[in-house]
Structure 1
Amino acid sequence: MPDYLKTVLKEIDQHFSEPLCLEDLADLTGISKFHLAREFKKYIGMPPNEYLIVTRLNHSKTLLKYEDRSIEEIAYSCGFHQVSHYINLFKKHEGCTPLKFRKEWHDNL
């Protein structure tokens, strides 16, 4: 994997809660956004935006398991700007709502 992709992964992993766009990530590495998107998908298996969403959702799952914050607070702290968008993405990726995920996690303890 090229070093510039490692840099992009690190940037996403450390700043996932902030607004990130392909142009900014490309500027960080000094390559075109088209080349970055193509190489990212080639090496990581998904586009940068999907990786960002998965990273945000994975962090939100940790918060749902171990913190008592509201769904709204968790959504915003993970970089989602609309709670409904967060819930829809969560449902698409996990097969259930964040609230159901939290309840099932606590019921299985």
Structure 2
Amino acid sequence: MKKYLFLLLAMLPMLFVSCSSDDDETASLKGTTWVCPDEGEGVRTLVFNKTEFLYTLQSKEETESVKGTYTYNPPLITLTSKDPKTNKEETMTGSINKDKLSIGEIVYTKQ
């Protein structure tokens, strides 16, 4: 009986341990900017707000911009937007590792 009482007392502190409140917050990239210079096509930029992003491709000839929404479940990120030419919804997935965001073969660096 003493063993069970001792075991119960040893487990008692575990009842008062809780997870940090950070676990309840949704992951966000709000306020971050990511850049990928590409000699062939120009400079690609991703700017994130709370749930939306702005993609810009700036070349010598023109600047193309696309807005959309994103979800971030570390380390994976999913970007959803409408293609301005076809008006169809497109979804891209990538991952973030420290200050690098990779979507397919394109790698952005956090500024």
- Same fold? TM cut 0.5: no
Bigger RCO of structures 1 and 2 (CA < 8 A, at least 6 apart): 1
| Larger strand fraction of residues | 2
Coarse TM-score class (shorter-chain normalised): under 0.3
TM-score (norm 2): 0.17
| Structure holding more helix per residue | 1
